[in-house]
Amino acid sequence: MRDIVMVSNMKRGIILCLVFVLGCSTKEHPKQVKTALTRISKAELCLTAFKAEYPNAPLIPSTVIDNGVMRDIPYQSYKSDNFEFNIYGDPDAPIAVEMGVYPPSISDHTSHMKCLQVLEACLSQSEDRVLLASIPLREGKQVSKDLTLEVTPSTAEDAYGAWWVSIYFEKKLEQARASKAEIKEITIEVPAPSSSSSQAIGKKESEEQGGWNQDELFRRKPSSYDSGGGGRVYVRGYTRKDGTYVRPHTRSRPRR
């Protein structure tokens, strides 16, 4: 009888251990799912990787992209010399990151490798980094589940004259695309940049130009639909509230 009781207790102990282990596994599962959805690192980490190479790269006005997979999606843009770095979507969970190089460096192998190095640092999973490195530098695309990794040549219609390496969630891009009404609300029309533009402007003029000064506007990439370089740019500090893109709130001066 004592042996039977001991065996029974041992079985109970084994069952309790299994329940405990399975319970722990179940609790960890949501964290594993969350990790799978954050294959692109937070914007802060991505920007840190870019700034490590180009520490003085400023935030510049983001030209409205009017064609291709990134069309009508608001983004933050940074530029240093011939390099441009763009982050799309929620800073805590970017839906796309890309880096490009403009002439005269579009065919420079070293410049291409610098772009790849920064983008690799934006990927949280080693498998994705290996996949990115496998793409031909001339042009190519790899798709892993819902993540697309792509190299776009400067001759592409949506390349704006630059060579690009991009990583993005295509389905999420569709959800983040701004409507025509939203584009009108959070963008401004600006003339072609002029080399004689002055950086110093008044507050009123700055507000009329979406919060950007002339020097910043001069740094933006030209619009693809205007050979003169004019077009629309996103205003500084736009936000997305309840699923709708809106201009930043500005306080008016109190009346005396």
Determine if the peptide bond prior to 103 is cis (ω within 30°).
no
pLDDT at 155 over 80: yes
- What pLDDT does 192 receive? 64
Residues 135 and 119 sit within 8 Å (Cβ to Cβ): no
Structure tokens at 38: 């954050």
Choose the weakest-confidence range: 30-34, 59-63, 91-95, 228-232.
30-34
- What pLDDT does 16 receive? 34
- What pLDDT does 250 receive? 59
- What pLDDT does 217 receive? 87
- 117-134: per-residue pLDDT in tens? 999 999 999 999 999 999
Number of H-type helices and E-type strands within the chain: 8, 11
Mean pLDDT over residues 234-256, rounded? 75
How far apart, in whole angstroms, are the C-alpha atoms of residue 52 and residue 70? 26
Choose the weakest-confidence range: 35-49, 157-171, 239-253.
239-253
- What pLDDT does 4 receive? 43
Query: Which residues 6+ apart lie within 8 Å of 133 measured at CB?
Result: 116, 120
Q: What backbone phi and psi angles, to 5 degrees, belong to 136?
A: -60, 140
Residue predicted with more confidence, 240 or 192: 240
Query: Which residues 6+ apart lie within 8 Å of 240 measured at CB?
Result: 74, 246
- What pLDDT does 230 receive? 58
Candidates 234, 249, 209; CA nearest to 72 is 234
* Percent share of the chain, pLDDT over 90: 55
Question: Would you give the end-to-end CA distance of the chain in angstroms?
Answer: 96
Mean per-residue pLDDT over the chain, rounded: 80
- 65-108: per-residue pLDDT in tens? 988 999 999 999 999 999 999 999 888 889 999 999 999 999 99
Structure tokens at 179: 């409507």
- What pLDDT does 241 receive? 84
- 174-215: per-residue pLDDT in tens? 999 999 999 999 999 987 655 444 444 444 455 558 899 888
Query: Which residues 6+ apart lie within 8 Å of 41 measured at CB?
Result: 94, 121, 122, 123, 124
pTM of the model: 0.76
Query: Which residues 6+ apart lie within 8 Å of 224 measured at CB?
Result: 65, 66, 67, 157, 158, 160
Taking only Cα atoms into account, the Rg of the chain, rounded to an integer number of angstroms, comes to 24
Which band of pLDDT confidence, cut at 50, 70 and 90, is reported for residue 253?
very low
